[in-house]
Amino acid sequence: MSDVVMLAYGDERRHLELGTPVDVLDAGSHKPLLCKLEDEDGAPAGDWIVKTPCMYAHGASSLLREVIGSDLAAFAGLPTPAIGLLRLPDPPAATDASDVGARAAAVYRADAGQLAFCSRKLAAPTLEPSVLRRPGRPRNQLVHDAVFTFLFDVFMWHYDRTWKNPNLLLLDHRLVVIDHDRVCHGVESVDETGLAPDYTSFGHEAALVDHVLRPLLKRQVAHIAWHEFRDRMASLDGVTLDEMAARWPDELDRGRTGATVDLKADVVRFLRARVSVVDRIVEEARSVVA
């Protein structure tokens, strides 16, 4: 499992080279490419989901969020696909004349020379939410991952895991979190006086109403995982966080126009604040689902 899934922060981040486009994933909102990629030495590196700046209204900074979300999920101990970075060739790589080839060519042209975010393609189905409604006691591992996923989303101001769109895969009885381009929602916004949001506030409770895991958690408020998540995130000290942030590519800290957005600095401040109030966040999250 571990060469395709990150289970702990610090797993190697791969540098990949473009191979062949295999598909365009039309199911979600950003239509990432599914590509066969290669290692730096040209050896086959398997199938990866490839996301590039042109797919996002917020450009490269959405890819920065993907990296941040993956690192934080791995730090929390939630399985998440291994990630890699790829520089799209400039001039753009040639493709064949198939429909997939033509669509990949448009992406390669739009983002020639840019960094792309790559997520290791897992042979795992998207979580079918009805699985969570099966009668009987759910597996302990599933409950553990559900608590951690819900708390991760609350902690990260991440509101993109609904019944219609769970953004979860089911792999060997574990939940795997994917699709982090919306973590730290709104951390960069400022009010008319130039003030950032209060990072110690719980977040947007209303946006959690449709969270896909909420009904399952209603019966699990006494599970040990609530405490385990709190203890884990409380251990994210300033040194570790700074080391983590140093690996987030500055090149991705840019918006649609290519101008710097300084998201990294905001996220570091945000995470420091979240860690300082993690006890309260967990207690409020528990009362929200109860």
Ligand X SMILES: Nc1ncnc2c1ncn2[C@@H]1O[C@H](COP(=O)(O)OP(=O)(O)O)[C@@H](O)[C@H]1O
Residue ranges that bind ligand X, judged by CB under 6 A: 25, 27-30, 32, 49, 81, 119-122, 126, 167, 169, 178-179, 181
Query: Cα(94)–Cα(79) distance, rounded to whole angstroms?
Result: 35
CB of 131 to ligand X, least distance (A): 15
Contact between 181 and Mg ion (CB under 5 A)? no
Residue 81, contacted partner among Mg ion, ligand X, none, CB below 5-8 A by kind: ligand X
Looking at the Cβ atoms of 52 and 167, the one nearer to Mg ion is 167
Which SS3 state, helix, strand or coil, does residue 169 take?
Answer: strand
Contact between 179 and Mg ion (CB under 5 A)? yes
CB of 148 to Mg ion, least distance (A): 19
Contact between 66 and Mg ion (CB under 5 A)? no
Q: Are the C-beta atoms of 57 and 256 separated by less than 8 Å? A: yes
Contact between 28 and Mg ion (CB under 5 A)? yes
CB of 181 to Mg ion, least distance (A): 8
Query: Cα(276)–Cα(290) distance, rounded to whole angstroms?
Result: 24
Peptide bond before 21: cis, by omega within 30 degrees of 0? no
CB of 158 to Mg ion, least distance (A): 12
Contact between 153 and Mg ion (CB under 5 A)? no
Q: Which region, judged by CB under 5 A, interacts with Mg ion, from 61-69, 150-158, 179-187, 197-205?
A: 179-187
Looking at the Cβ atoms of 71 and 226, the one nearer to ligand X is 71
Residue whose CB is nearest to ligand X in the complex, by number: 28
Token pair recorded at residue 163: 């019944």
CB of 183 to ligand X, least distance (A): 12
How many other β-carbons are positioned within 10 Å of the β-carbon of residue 151? 26
Q: Are the C-beta atoms of 73 and 152 separated by less than 8 Å? A: yes
Token pair recorded at residue 262: 């300084």
Cα 156 to Cα 14, 187, 188, distances in angstroms? 24, 10, 13
Element (H, E) at 37: strand 33-39
Residue 98, contacted partner among ligand X, Mg ion, none, CB below 5-8 A by kind: none
Looking at the Cβ atoms of 30 and 256, the one nearer to Mg ion is 30
Looking at the Cβ atoms of 80 and 220, the one nearer to ligand X is 80
Residue 119, contacted partner among ligand X, Mg ion, none, CB below 5-8 A by kind: ligand X
- 3-state helix, strand, coil split of the chain in percent (to 5) is 40, 20, 45
Q: Are the C-beta atoms of 149 and 143 separated by less than 8 Å? A: no
Residue 32, contacted partner among Mg ion, ligand X, none, CB below 5-8 A by kind: ligand X
Return the closest-CA partner of residue 162 out of 141, 179, 184, 145. Answer: 179
Query: Cα(156)–Cα(202) distance, rounded to whole angstroms?
Result: 10
Contacts with Mg ion by CB under 5 A lie at 28, 167, 179
